[in-house]
Homo-oligomer: A and B are copies of this chain.
C-alpha cells in the first residue's frame, strides 16, 4: 500500500516530538497507543494545565519517599503512622506494597503499625527470601514489643508462599500470628479491595 510522504517520516504524526511523547506515555501502566495519543494531544493542547502537571511530577519526585521504618509512602521519615502516639505498636500488619496500606487507613478499623515487604516470594521468578526484608522484620519483632502479627498479603500463590515463610519465621516467638480471613476473592489484588470487604476479612482473621 502506498504511503503519503508526510506519513512516512517520523511515525504517524508529522512531529517526532509528539511521537516521542506518545511512546513515553505508552510505557505507563494501563495505557495503550490510543489512550497515550489522546493524552499526548491533551497535554500539548493545554500548556497551563500541562505545566501544572509537570510541576506536580517534579514535586512528587522530590518529596515522596518510603518510611525507613515501615516502608509506607511518606514525606516525613519516619512516617506519621510510625510516630503517632495514638497507634498501637504491638500490632504489626505485614503488607506487600505501600498501596496496600490505603484501604486499611480508609477503613479506619486498624490502629496498629505496618511493615511493607515490597515484593512477594516467587521462586519461579528468582525472588527468594534474601530478596525480601525478612532480617529487618525479625529485628523489629525482636525489639519492638510486637504481640500480634497480621499477615495481609494478596490471595495468590506468591502471597501464600510468603505467608508460610513468615509463619515459620515467627514460630519460636511468643506471638499471636493471624492472617486475613478468606473473604478476599482468590486472585484479587489487595490494594483494590473495598474497605467493607476488607474489614470483614480483618475481623475474621484466623490464627495459624
Contacts and interface: CB of A to CB of B under 8 A. Distances in A.
A24 B60 CA distance: 11
The 6 A-B pairs at the shortest CB distance, nearest first, are namely A7-B105, A3-B108, A17-B63, A21-B60, A24-B56, A6-B80
A131 interface: no
23 contacts: A1-B107, A3-B108, A4-B81, A5-B84, A7-B106, A7-B108, A13-B102, A14-B75, A15-B60, A15-B64, A15-B73, A17-B63, A18-B60, A18-B64, A20-B59, A21-B56, A25-B53, A29-B39, A30-B38, A41-B98, A43-B61, A44-B61, A47-B61
Contacts of A192: 34
Identify whether the interface residues of A are mostly helix, strand, loop, or mixed: helix
Taken together, the copies of this chain in the complex come to 2
Nearest to A58: B54
A168 interface: no
A16 B75 contact: yes
Interface in A15-56: 15-18, 20-21, 23-25, 27-31, 34-35, 37-44, 47, 49-54, 56
Contact of A42 (B2, B18, B29, B52): B29
A13 B56 CA distance: 15
A102 B12 contact: yes
Contacts of A41: 73, 98-99
A1 B108 contact: yes
A86 interface: yes
Nearest to A28: B39
Given A6-B80, A30-B35, A38-B30, A74 B14 contact: yes
Given A3-B105, A41-B99, 5 more contacts: A5-B81, A5-B87, A14-B80, A18-B60, A27-B49
